[in-house]
Amino acid sequence: MLKKTKTLGYNGNYLGPVVELKKGKTVTIRTVNRLSEATTSHWHGLVVPSSVDGGPHQVVKAGETKVVKFKVKQNESTLWFHPHPMGKTAEQVYKGLAGLLYVKDEKTKETMLPQKYGENDIPLILQDRKVKNRNVLGYADVEKTDGALGDTLLVNGTINPYFNVKYSQLRVRLINGSNARNYVVKLSDGSSFKKIADDGGYISKPKNVKKIELSPGERIEVLVDFSKRKIGETVSFETNGVRVVNFKLKDKQGTNLSALAPKSGYEKPLKTLSTVNQKLTLFGMGKNVEINGKKFDETRIDIKAKQGETEIWEVYNKKDMMGGMTHPFHIHGVQFKVLERNGQKLDNQETGLKDTIAIKPDERVKIQMTFKEKGVFMYHCHILEHEENGMMGQLKVD
């Protein structure tokens, strides 16, 4: 008999349902905590007041219920949810607490993008886990100096999945739900595919790419074109030689790719400001991680901003003697545009809105955002163990 692994889930044993939210609608979500410890339900990427964002301050104690209500104001995008209780986020996510939030809006119909869930529109949640004797190890048994790293890739909770493709165009939503691992995803035959969306929604100019990079917390949507492949063929997504998913081509229904590009106009061109309002320095590894020389303190407000204001933040990943490491920087309650990486201007039509951005050692990134909602929001490294070791600060929007 194989030993079973204890997991956690939302409405099930592992992970959770895909929750669909409609732009313009008011939503009520009830979290019933049947765990034996406190948790929170954080809506990662959702632009809502901090009182309902499910950060570390919105604790749901064991056995209790919490109801939040908010209006969905943002555009179509792939967001996700996960717990965020102080000191327990990494462990609860590792055990399986995470789910997807799809924001849908009316404009989707115009885009002709694939949107039949499970048929031509599929999510792939990438998570690495440590497996020993065909058993996923518990969180306590995993080495986690810079975050829990596994040796086995789980995709939507499955090892070595395949998908029977029946349409000529497949929309794939990739989510890095890992505690600490970065992924570079390619097609096994090296061919290109089309990137159509970033964390916070569609990009105005979809781009053909041969690989995508995803750090913890980030999401990217792509279209894979099967129209020129033969029925019966198999091609896979791979990361570092490890198979993510096998696509088995069974049928080629549907339209051709050129008709599928989202119409422009999702994002207005940026009015680029030049003043940098905040400078943040990320530094450290292991337990010695900090932002601007400080560790998280829930009684301290690190940054203040005004509702409706647009700001530029410059975030710098300072190297150490060991060379440092990539930190995925995330802000709650806001979506931002990336203006520059190391002084290089980016074409803002080619990147969508983001809420999490990978910053490599010695890299300096400028982002621009408008604070639409009020409250105390977290910003932190999305390597979950770094966040728990204090790589987090608080932004108060009045």
Q: Which residues of this protein are in contact with ligand C2O, per CB under 6 A?
A: 42, 44, 82, 84, 217, 330, 332, 378, 380, 382
Closest approach of Cβ 81 to ligand C2O, in Å? 8
Residues 371-390, interacting with Cu ion (CB under 5 A): 381, 383, 386
- Asked if 244 interacts with Cu ion (CB under 5 A), we say no
β-pair partners for 187: 237
Residues 127-146, interacting with Cu ion (CB under 5 A): none
C-beta of 84 vs 354, nearer to ligand C2O: 84
Of 263, 251, 182, which is closest to residue 220 (Cα–Cα)?
Answer: 182
At CA 329, angle to CA 326 and CA 335, rounded to 5? 145
Task: Give just the sign of the alpha carbon dihedral 49, 55, 57, 62.
Answer: positive
C-beta of 89 vs 204, nearer to ligand C2O: 89
- Asked if 354 interacts with Cu ion (CB under 5 A), we say no
Question: How far is Cα 387 from Cα 347, in angstroms, rounded to an integer?
Answer: 30
The owner of tokens 């050129």 is 258
Structural element, H or E, at residue 318: strand 310-318
The owner of tokens 């049947």 is 34
Of 383, 357, 380, 205, which is closest to residue 303 (Cα–Cα)?
Answer: 380
C-beta of 120 vs 215, nearer to ligand C2O: 215
β-pair partners for 44: 80
Task: Indicate which of ligand C2O, Cu ion, none lies near residue 381 (CB less than 5 to 8 Å, by partner kind).
Answer: Cu ion
Task: Indicate which of Cu ion, ligand C2O, none lies near residue 95 (CB less than 5 to 8 Å, by partner kind).
Answer: none
Residues 314-333, interacting with Cu ion (CB under 5 A): 327, 332
- Which residues, 6+ apart, have CB-to-CB distance to 384 below 8 Å? 89, 90, 93, 94, 147, 148, 179, 180, 216
Name the DSSP letter for residue 139: G
C-beta of 327 vs 380, nearer to ligand C2O: 380
Task: Indicate which of Cu ion, ligand C2O, none lies near residue 380 (CB less than 5 to 8 Å, by partner kind).
Answer: ligand C2O
Closest approach of Cβ 217 to ligand C2O, in Å? 5
C-beta of 81 vs 193, nearer to ligand C2O: 81
C-beta of 121 vs 385, nearer to Cu ion: 385
Task: Indicate which of ligand C2O, Cu ion, none lies near residue 383 (CB less than 5 to 8 Å, by partner kind).
Answer: Cu ion
Closest approach of Cβ 381 to Cu ion, in Å? 3
The owner of tokens 């809105």 is 353
Structural element, H or E, at residue 392: strand 392-397
Binding site for Cu ion (CB under 5 A): 44, 327, 332, 381, 383, 386
